[in-house]
Every structure is written in structure tokens, then in C-alpha cells.
Amino acid sequence: MFWQKRLKNYFIHNKGMDENERLLKKIENKEIEVGVVGLGYVGLPLAVEKAKAGFKTIGFDVQSEKVDLVNKGHNYIGDVVDSDLKKLVEAGMLKATTNFSFVKEVDFIAICVPTPLDKHQQPDISYVKSSTEEIAKYLTKETIVVLESTTYPGTTEELVKTILEKGSGLKCGVDFYLGFSPERVDPGNLIYKTKNTPKVVGGIGKDATEVIAAMYRAVLESDVFEVSSPAIAEMEKILENTYRNINIGLVNELTILCNRMGISIWEVIEAAKSKPYGFQAFYPGPGLGGHCIPLDPYYLSWKAREYGFHTTLIENSMVINDGQARYCAERAAHILSHHKKAVTDSRILVLGIAYKQDIDDYRESPAIRVIQELERAGARVDFYDPWIREYKDHGQVRTGIPKITPQAVAEYDLVIVTTAHSNVDYDMVQKNAQAVFDTKNVMKHLKARENIEVL
């Protein structure tokens, strides 16, 4: 079947065209069939946008639950519009599978799989490796492969290219195109989504870069910035998030100093923001969360050791940010002691499990680490999150209290705000709490502050 597709596509086009021209023409005519490997926070929104742009799309995931949901038109990702997914599935523009043989049917493959850290805080690229090995078994000529998963510089050329060539018997740049285009997903962002966020593309060779960029331009409303190699694009992605990690680390360290000096770091930042140039505001908190900022710097520091280089500034910022959960637990203990209570057996309510406001994503959430620190000290901790009813930690499922009422809040010795959700009645919390530790300064608008301490 797939050979019939290839032959049909070949005879449709001018035989005088070279491979690059044929692919560009197919992109222009929406004749490219798209495959997306990994249907999570990155992959599903990308698959939906490809299909909305007129490209028939097949999504792949190892989790049959996700595949079944997609094929039923049921959405599970906040950044995807429910009705868009349903319409695309019903129109036959988008479907999902757990079978890697779908690779034979597509012309463009985006790899959007997780790249976490292992227990030693080193890059775990096993998902990239295993996905690439499966793709290689079914790879055909004139296929375009793009890695979107965040990773260390060199992954595309050193790992992905080698696996694809060895497993398929094809030659990169001759028989297939390969490149890297880092995902840029900000869950819960009301302005920037997949469709209107600028994209960076770096292919192995100019032809690959041109074709991959053309494919994204055919889908997105945003600019596509072309770079000279996958390694440039990989390093660019690491820079984006390391920049934020370092600046948040600076503010978190200043927060500790300001607390000892009796100075409000929040007022300091607001004052600094009055400068119209040369300053960008970053804010303190209980630590870093999400799929990028807490992890990406570790990828770079790990790779740097291969060159005998230590990323001192980056590593120091990671130490500071990783220590914020413990610092918040220590501050909580001090607050309790001011109320003549010990941490042991104290009842503490943590408000917010999501790693950022108004989303249901708790990956790498610092709130979970704060809870762990408090429980090690002997506290009895509950949580409430209007977006997350339960979460899994080390294989155990923890369920939050169903709702917060004045009576419920009053039962706790301390309430700690760890996520600045907008749909929480903070006025009610302040009025009924015995003590509040606000790590996000979300209660800054409240006039009554006698029981509030801010990070």
C-alpha cells in the first residue's frame, strides 16, 4: 500500500524535479502525510495543528488509553480545543495508533517523547532511543524526521542519525532528511500556543533545513527561524531555559538574604521593574517545576563534562533552586514556632500542587517536594488544588481534600500557598487560617495581613 502511495506521488510531480523540489511541492499541495510520535503536552497540540492545516496526521503513543481517547475525539490536554480534536477525528484528518508500522504511511515524522532525568540527575534519553529504533525499522526514502524533544547538543547527529541509518540502511541527506526543532510549549499560556509561537529549525544540511522549515511554515502562524545545524537548535533550547533557571536562582538566593535583613524581596523587584531597560523581572518561589526549566540545565552540565568543562554558574543556580523546597519547609517551621507549635504533629494545608497557576500539570512540582520535607519533619500534611484532585508520588496516589471551606481552613495550624491559582478565595483563607505562609505573594492585594508571612 505504501509503495502505491510513493509511486502515485512520484508520477504526480514533474520528473525533472529533484528530491528537495518534490518535497517542497508536496508540502505546498498538502500532500505530505504527518506522523507524530508521543501524544503528550507537546505531541497532541502539534498533531492537531498539522491536521487543522490540511495535512492528514497519524499520532502514535505507547499508552493505549491516550490512543483510544484521541480516536474517540476526547481531549486530555489543556492547550487543545476539545471541539477541534473531535472535528478532525470525525473528518478523518487525525487518528492515533500504538503500532509503529504507521511510519511506512507518512512522509514527515515529529518525535515528541519525554526526556527526563534519571535517579542520578543525568539525561534519560531512553524514550528517544527506543522511538528512533522503531522508526528505523519502517523508514522509507524521502521521509522527513524531526526531533522536538528537549535534549543535549549533539543528540540528533550523534544518536538519532546513527540509529536511523543503521536500522533502515538508508543514508541521511541522500535518502531521508533529519533535523531538530525544539518544542516550545507553555501550558496554560492564554496568548502563546503551538500555532503562534515562533519555531527554530536546524537540519543536517541546507536542503533538510529548507524542507523542515517549509513544513512548519505551512502549519504555523509564527516565524520559523533557520539555524545552520541541529546542534545550534539543541543548544538554543537549553539556553532559553537555563537563562530562566539562573535568573530565578538569583532571585531565590536574594530572597533568603532579604528575609534575614528584614527586606521585602517582592517590593525590591517591583522597584527594579520601574527601570524601562536592562532589567527583566523574575520572582521567587518554593522551587522550579515543569518539563523544562528544572531539567534542561542538567543536560548541559552533563554534556559539558565530556569536554572537561564545568558549568559553575549553572550548577550553582540548580543547587539554589533545588534547595528552595527545604528552605520553605524551614520557614514554615519558624512560623509554627512563633505560634508556639512544633512541626511534629502540626496539621498543615498546602494550597496548590500544580507547578504553575491555573493548570493541571504537576510534573516536577516544587509543592510535592515541600510536602515531602514537611512530612520528614513529622508534620501531617493535606493539600487542596482546584485543578488537581490527586497526584502520584513514588507510585503512591495522594488525594486532596475535596474543597476548602472556612471550617476546613480553620482546622489547620498553617496554610502554605505553593501555587498562585486564580480560582481560590484567598480572602476567605486569610480570614479563617490560624497562620498563612504565602510563597507566591498571591495575597498581596489583601489589607488584613496579621496572620500572613510572605516568602
Rounded CA gap, 283 and 288, in Å?
11
Name residue, grid cell 508520588: 393
- CA-based angle 197:94:173, to the nearest 5? 65
- Reported residue count of the chain is 455
Contact between residue 238 and residue 297 where contact means Cβ atoms under 8 Å apart:
yes
Contact between residue 429 and residue 410 where contact means Cβ atoms under 8 Å apart:
no
CA separation (Å) from 203 to 19, 115, 216, 418? 16, 20, 13, 41
Catalytic residue numbers? 292
Alpha helices in 79-222, H assignment, sequence order: 82-90, 126-138, 161-168, 206-217
**What single letter denotes the amino acid at residue 405?**
T
Three-state DSSP class for residue 415: strand
Three-state DSSP class for residue 279: coil
Q: What share of the chain is helix, strand, coil (3-state, %, to 5)?
A: 40, 15, 45
Contact between residue 294 and residue 288 where contact means Cβ atoms under 8 Å apart:
yes
Rounded CA gap, 159 and 303, in Å?
14
Rounded CA gap, 288 and 281, in Å?
16
Instruction: Calculate the CA dihedral of residues 72, 75, 80, 83 and round it to 10 degrees.
Output: 60
